[in-house]
Amino acid sequence: MRIIDRIEEVVQRHKKEFENIEEEFNKQNKKYKSFLYQDHDFIGKLLKFHLITEYYINEYLQNKYKDVVFNDVDLRYYQKLNLLPANDYRVAFIKPGLKQLNRVRNKFSHNLGATVELGELNEMLNVLGITRKETKYKEPEQVIEEFTTVACTFLIVSPKEINDLFTKLFEELS
């Protein structure tokens, strides 16, 4: 007798087990779909903001350390942040917010059900409280987007006289 001729008989004998398997499959399928249909707009924007800041960090570091080609060095975002000098007041001002942006991005990269609340963005809000005093933030996405704009502006490599002026201004503020 061929195996195919016995399939129906074996299936009938194990009908209860197949019901359990199907029930478990349906439960797991529901969970899978919850992950699949999770709002990805925020996650996509978060990744984009992280990548944009990394571009400007690379540009800044490339200008600062001219002998190193930062695109060829396999450094993580956090490692690049640690290379940012503490004596550049512009960078020191935004660095805690950049670290926070990285923590939020990591949170989402390792947890499919992650969320972020305004209270988790205090370092970014500190920067925005000075640079965007009039704005009241209600959504984390808005905070991250505005912070990214400010951070990238502060990381822009400018001609020496502009860098010197920023340094002078921040020294006076300190």
Q: Domain total for the chain?
A: 2
The pLDDT of residue 77 is 95
Q: Are residue 76 and residue 147 in the same domain, yes or no? A: yes
* pLDDT, tens digit, 9 for 90 and up, residues 100-119: 999 999 998 888 788 899 99
User: What distance lies between CA 13 and its chain's CA centroid?
Assistant: 52
Residue 159 has pLDDT above 70, yes or no: no
Angstrom distance (rounded) from CA 127 to CA 105: 18
Buried-state track 99-109, b at ≥16 Cβ within 10 A, e below 16: ebbbebbeebe
**Mean of the per-residue pLDDT values of the chain:** 88
Angstrom distance (rounded) from CA 33 to CA 24: 14
Residue 25 has pLDDT above 90, yes or no: no
The pLDDT of residue 21 is 81
The pLDDT of residue 36 is 74
Give the pTM: 0.76
Q: Are residue 104 and residue 26 in the same domain, yes or no? A: no
Domain that holds residue 24: 3-36
